[in-house]
Structure 1
Amino acid sequence: MTLPPDPHLALVRPVAPHTRAGCEDCLRIGSAWVHLRLCLTCGHVGCCDSSPHRHARAHAGAQAHPIVESFEPGESWRWCFVDERMT
């Protein structure tokens, strides 16, 4: 079964990452992260759901920016937090 296109893809914009140094929120509070995600609406770099603070998901909820892309070298997938699926 093929899913219809995710309507949240309309929120994807050309973005530049706010930082390449790591999760911008973890850097601010001095915390560690596991993997990084790039918000495709504004360029926020946040940590994944396996990280202690789950900053990418928190950003998506607080800012209504649902689509992220892996910010890990060699990975090229996107995730929609609203629909909980790959896009």
Structure 2
Amino acid sequence: MTAIPGIDPTAAPSGPGCAECDNTSGWWYHLRRCAECGQIGCCDTSPGQHASAHAAATGHPVIRSYEPGEEWFWNFTSEEYVEDGPELAPPLSHPEDQPVPGPAGRVPEDWRDKLHR
């Protein structure tokens, strides 16, 4: 397989949830994984929008979904899906028993009103 700029298949994920939300006791809707360094961030629908903020701050252009059963990659620079991205280092998603939104105990009851649409 040809190497794809912005994707390091050996980079392990930073943890089971959004690193920035964990640092601030925040919460997320869906999770994304930086395909270059493994940083886990929350999606743009989440209040923190940490995955795209990470891409902008670091220049790491490609994310992969960190949701169970999802295998797509997105390139923030080209604003296109990346076709045929490589298998990344495990784990490939957050734990299946982790709720969405998550994490358990930090999601407000009115979470739907706080999403970016």
> TM-score band, normalised by the shorter chain?
0.7 to 0.9
Q: Does 1:32 align with 2:27?
A: yes
Other-structure match for 1:19 = 15
Give the share of equivalent positions with the same residue, in percent: 46
5+ long unaligned stretches in structure 2: 83-117
SS of equivalent to 1:43: coil
Other-structure match for 2:71 = 76
**Which of structure 1's runs of 4+ aligned residues deviate more than 3 A?**
none
Structure number, greater radius of gyration: 2
Q: TM-score, normalised by structure 1?
A: 0.86
Q: CA deviation at 1:62?
A: 0.2
Whole-angstrom distance in 2 between the partners of 1:41 and 1:82: 14
Quick one: higher RCO (CA 8 Å, sep 6+), 1 or 2? 2
Whole-angstrom distance in 1 between the partners of 2:72 and 2:58: 21
5+ long unaligned stretches in structure 1: 1-8
Q: CA deviation at 1:85?
A: 1.4
Q: Which one of 35, 51, 60 corresponds to residue 55 of structure 2?
A: 60
Q: Which one of 39, 43, 58 corresponds to residue 44 of structure 1?
A: 39
Give the helix-richer structure, 1 or 2: 1
Question: How big is the alpha-carbon RMSD for the aligned residues of Structure 1 and Structure 2?
Answer: 0.7
Q: TM-score, normalised by structure 2?
A: 0.65
Q: Which one of 56, 81, 88 corresponds to residue 86 of structure 1?
A: 81
